[in-house]
Amino acid sequence: MLKTNFDRVVKLSVQGKVAYPAGARRFEVDAEGKPFIAPSIGGISYNVKIGDPAFGWAGDHVEPGVSTLVDEEKRYGFATTSYHFYSCVGNEAVVVTGDAKKKKGIVTGHHGGAEHVILDFADEVLEKLNMDDKFLVKGWGQGLKLMDYPDIHLTNLDPNLVNKMGIKEVGKGRIEVPVAAVVPGHLMGSGVGSLSMGTGDYDIMTTDRDEIAELGLDKLLFGDFVAITDHDNVYGRSWRRGAVTIGIIIHSDCLLAGHGPGVTTLISCVKPMIVPRVDKGANIGRILKIGRFRPPKKKRSGKKK
């Protein structure tokens, strides 16, 4: 088990509400110059979940599960940015209003620009939610460190999830991290150059469909852990030879040029100290039994009178 400073990481409450789905006011133009109008970010998604394919949806930047924020009118205001920053992947989220009150879910990612925090809940909870419902997140993870690896930086990651990801120490100051796929750094697009590693995401560009298919990236699932080679996410999102970043897929493929499946970053090092190991099962859903990997609810057996 990796040694961390989990007992010194501050746990704070933050609270958000359901984010309204983005309304399409006009046509967009895709990377091939074709106009389109399609569903996009936000809302309570009933049929797009962790474990589903990130490709193939009749939409753009689609988010699995429940999209949340604090205030649509002040998307970059203090309250929303606080909610976005403290909510870490793997944190517990609790419904605090309405018919689904006290039901628990899991934070599965941040979406930058929209400033959404994405939550996973069971189907029976989704059916009880409404657009006015609110969620309390026990924000825990920012400031987390690997005590024996000071050059490896963690952000947006629940301390309990770290030791469930199958990370191994492999000697010479390196760790091995299971990932569903390896993404070459030259494919990273929208979000490169941002300084917001503690919030948001950045996109795998998918305009070159032949290369995406050749690399097997068209098989990515929501919730998959991925490695991005030659990319540094320590003090900014940038290309740096030898750097490695580990992230999680948080929204769907996109039609716009320079965009594609979104990656919330979790682990990064400017030195080649992170060794990716491809494991198609490296998905938060499998680890935490959420999304499509949630066990079916057992039916109660009643005795005949």
Q: Quick one: three-class SS letters along 102-169?
A: CCEEEEEEEECCCCEEEEECCHHHHCCCCCCCEEEEEEECCCCEECCCCCCEECCECHHHHCCCCCEE
Contact between 107 and 117 under an 8 Å Cβ cutoff? The reply is yes
**What is the CB neighbour count within 10 angstroms for residue 5?**
13
3-state secondary structure of 43: coil
Task: For residue 204, count other CB atoms closer than 10 A to its CB.
Answer: 27
Torsion, Cα 177 182 185 186, to 10 degrees, reads 180
**Which bin fits 209, alpha (ψ -120 to 50), beta or left (φ > 0)?**
alpha
CA–CA separation, 148 and 165 (whole Å): 17
Q: How many residues does the chain have?
A: 305
| pTM for this model (two decimals) | 0.96
Backbone angles phi, psi at 228, to 5 degrees: -115, 120
Distance CA(280)–CA(260), nearest Å, equals 20
Query: What is the C-alpha end-to-end distance of the chain, expressed in Å?
Result: 52
The residues pairing with 244 across neighbouring beta strands, listed in sequence order, are 229, 269
Q: Please, what are the domains in the chain?
A: 6-140 (2.40.10.170), 153-288 (2.102.30.10)
The three-state secondary structure class of 186 is: helix
DSSP 298: P
Please give the chain's pLDDT, 305 residues, in tens: 899 999 999 999 999 999 999 877 788 899 999 999 999 999 999 999 999 999 999 999 999 999 999 998 898 899 999 999 999 999 999 999 999 999 999 999 999 999 999 999 999 999 999 999 999 999 999 999 999 999 999 999 999 999 999 999 999 999 999 999 999 999 999 999 999 899 999 999 999 999 999 999 999 999 999 999 999 999 999 999 999 999 999 999 999 999 999 999 999 999 999 999 999 999 999 999 999 999 987 776 665 54
Query: How far is Cα 42 from Cα 22, in angstroms, rounded to an integer?
Result: 6
Q: Which amino acid is at 38?
A: A
